[in-house]
Chain A
């Protein structure tokens, strides 16, 4: 575990070594605020909850999280530091995990900085803080799933732009797979079982459950499995490059 922590610490430090981290956080906070007040109609709703704040998170993450994940491996490959990293005594999975955790914690920091919304809503009324907590956890979990997907995309290329586009595209598919638009592509030919499976992949469906304060076993298992699978795929991608 020491190795995982060492990798994680270096990656986190790397985020804050450039202005990129601060730019990202500012954009995230500004967009979250703009959506909540202008699109979500936080005040007009007249309700003491943060639904109008959380509902836009998956869409914000769709563009912002792949941007956080894109450098994880692509940058190492471009500068050649991957050779230094992979010849240190650590397993590939430990390194994959360390990098994932660093990016996830980084999104966690950005998310935690939205606490003024929570203060505002508690000042204005008496919201159900349990629901808000579940929503925060759900939002962070979605970010984690996107990070894991983005890290896989990043491991495939040395070009960060490609990593970003690829990551965002895959995240979009996972996000949207429960929507009729996507399901309509399956319904005409696939048996209902397949359609149901595709629909159950939808991050959006699970996120909506969490936003209502419902933390179900199915959702937890789905998210953990998704992240675990991505980390394993990420490890395999890095290992395959060795054997190439």
Chain B
């Protein structure tokens, strides 16, 4: 995989405030990197340094081999950037804005018109292309921001909360667009919506208080969840205590919790030791004892729990 973006010990201080502290990671072609963190963790600041809006206090960042400070113009040519909140010139129409951005990027004539048409089509802006941006809904504005970012078909895309403020259908469309473009590009998407990581990202970097606390695939992160591979079984209430005692004897089982009791049935949550795969074992044990299982489910572990655990640790 060709490396396209590389951050090395990138640091930004505003006076005494350490906004970003020695952040290092890289993104390759064909990769969608989810950049996660609580609000104020330093996501936007990192992206601003990468796109040349802010200068790093120390450390380096390279885009396609060009240093973001020394060769800012070369870097900017190769990046499509959607800033946080998608700021746009409100008095312009989407079409006029795209013409302006295209002009700034050295596009002109037929090529410019062709690229504008393509960006408008990809972001479904046809119906509002001639209306002033300040009359557009939040969803449309966000898509105008996206359209200007992908206008020149850049090899690197940096999108700061691209789905913020969109309704579920629009979110789906934007994620589909990101997925569709990902093969040829390196894409960095910041978000605090965890479902998004599952939906579009190949890798997630989590930062808290300006520092990286995790850099892993979404699956790896899920494995770190306390209830990853936990089994939830619903059985007859009469036999719940018996089942729990039997399950506790298994050495792959760390803990058994009685979580719910309704209408003569009880639900047990069986937590495995070190995230081991215990589904088959639990099922066999219950079957051997002749305990009838009403419902049976293996939990994957939830990203938001991992996220909370990781970012809360960093806060202390």
B89 touches A87 (CB 8 A): no
Q: Give the segment of A76-84, A115-123, A183-191 that binds chain B.
A: A76-84
Partner among B55, B85, B104 whose Cβ is within 8 Å of the Cβ of A3: B104
Complex Cα–Cα for A3 and B83 (A): 21
Q: Could you jot down 8 A-B contacts, CB within 8 Å? A: A6-B100, A7-B104, A10-B89, A10-B100, A18-B91, A81-B89, A83-B87, A84-B101
A6 touches B103 (CB 8 A): yes
Q: Give the segment of B71-79, B119-127, B241-249 that binds chain A.
A: B71-79
Complex Cα–Cα for A10 and B91 (A): 10
Complex Cα–Cα for A83 and B105 (A): 15
B87 touches A87 (CB 8 A): no
Chain A 87-111 interface 0/1 with B at a Cβ cutoff of 8 Å (1 = within):
1111100000000000000000000
Partner among B76, B88, B92, B96 whose Cβ is within 8 Å of the Cβ of A88: B76
Q: Which residues of B are found within 8 Å of A242, using beta-carbon distances? A: 53-55
Closest chain A CB from B142 CB (angstroms): 13
Number of interface residues of A (CB under 8 A): 26
Contact of B48 with A by CB under 8 A = yes
Complex Cα–Cα for A83 and B213 (A): 28
Closest chain A CB from B101 CB (angstroms): 7
Closest to A7 in B: B104
A84 touches B73 (CB 8 A): no
* B residues at A contact (CB < 8 Å): 14, 48, 51-55, 73, 76-77, 79, 81, 83-85, 87-92, 96, 100-101, 103-106, 108, 148
B55 touches A243 (CB 8 A): yes
B104 touches A90 (CB 8 A): yes
Complex Cα–Cα for A82 and B147 (A): 18
Partner among B79, B96, B106 whose Cβ is within 8 Å of the Cβ of A87: B79
Contact of A126 with B by CB under 8 A = no
Known contacts A242-B54, A243-B55; is A84 also within 8 Å of B83 by CB?
A: yes
17 A-B pairs besides A14-B92, A82-B87, A84-B81 with CB distance below 8 A are A2-B103, A3-B103, A6-B103, A10-B92, A13-B96, A14-B91, A18-B91, A80-B83, A81-B89, A83-B48, A83-B87, A84-B148, A86-B53, A88-B76, A88-B104, A89-B77, A242-B54
Contact of A17 with B by CB under 8 A = yes
Q: Which residues of A are found within 8 Å of B48, using beta-carbon distances? A: 83
Known contacts A6-B100, A6-B103, A80-B85; is A87 also within 8 Å of B90 by CB?
A: no
Complex Cα–Cα for A5 and B100 (A): 10
Closest chain B CB from A69 CB (angstroms): 18
Q: Which residues of A are found within 8 Å of B85, using beta-carbon distances? A: 80
Known contacts A84-B148, A87-B53, A87-B81; is A79 also within 8 Å of B87 by CB?
A: yes
Closest chain A CB from B152 CB (angstroms): 9
Complex Cα–Cα for A172 and B104 (A): 36
**Considering the complex of A and B, which 8 residue pairs feature the smallest CB-CB distances, nearest first?**
A80-B87, A6-B103, A17-B91, A89-B76, A83-B83, A88-B104, A87-B51, A89-B77
